[in-house]
Copies of this chain bind each other. A is one copy, B any other.
Amino acid sequence: MYKNKIPKASVYRLAIYLRGLEKLKINKKIYVSSPEVGKFCGIDPAQVRKDLSYFGQFGEVGKGYHIKSLVTNLKKILKLHHKKWKMSLAGVGNLGAALLSYKGFENVGFIIQVAFDKDCKKIGRVFSGVKIYDFKKMKEIIRKENIRIGIIAVPAEFAQEVAEIMISSGVKSILNFAPVILNLPSKIIVSNVDLSNELLSLPYFISK
């Protein structure tokens, strides 16, 4: 079946297509072609067809992709269709607090269930509806809540240690905001969020 040899980058792009299609759906379009998806998402149409072909035949000859069906299928493939995914946040500094109040996670099926900090002024308080616990209780609480996704928003020097505790508690994938490369077992999926990536292409357009 399709579980073997699918490049990680194809899976990441499925998420990009999903976001793009959801925007197209708002415009009341029914069908869309791979060049249209490609243009909308900034990805080569041949790449779009190749990525989708790993998971099945979604296009209809002469019509293209039925947007609503493709959205449903992509959500199923990405395991986004049936439940809210619980997340655990480590670090409630400025960035952590911003993430707690960020509405975008819940819109796509994710929720920060618990948060951890070492600052005793924060421990026991509730930020944006989420209770802050002592770092020392991380292992126990993540296990009890059966949480599989961790968000790291601690300073760079603590990120590795925190990631290891998360993994030993059952976390399978990590969204890492700390500007450091984590050294973790290859079965753990790490998404590094680098806020400066988006900036790098702007001067090109300014200078034109």
Contact = CB atoms under 8 A, between A and B. Distances in A.
Contacts of A104: 179, 194-196
A202 B42 contact: no
A44 B42 contact: no
A15 interface: yes
A195 B80 contact: no
Interface residues of A, number: 59
A183 to B, nearest CB: 14
A202 B149 contact: yes
Interface string A167-208: 000001101000100000000010101111111111111111
A110 interface: yes
A7 interface: yes
Contact of A200 (B19, B98, B193, B202): B19
Contact of A95 (B98, B107, B203): B98
B94 A201 contact: no
Given A9-B43, A98-B95, A194-B104, A200 B149 contact: no
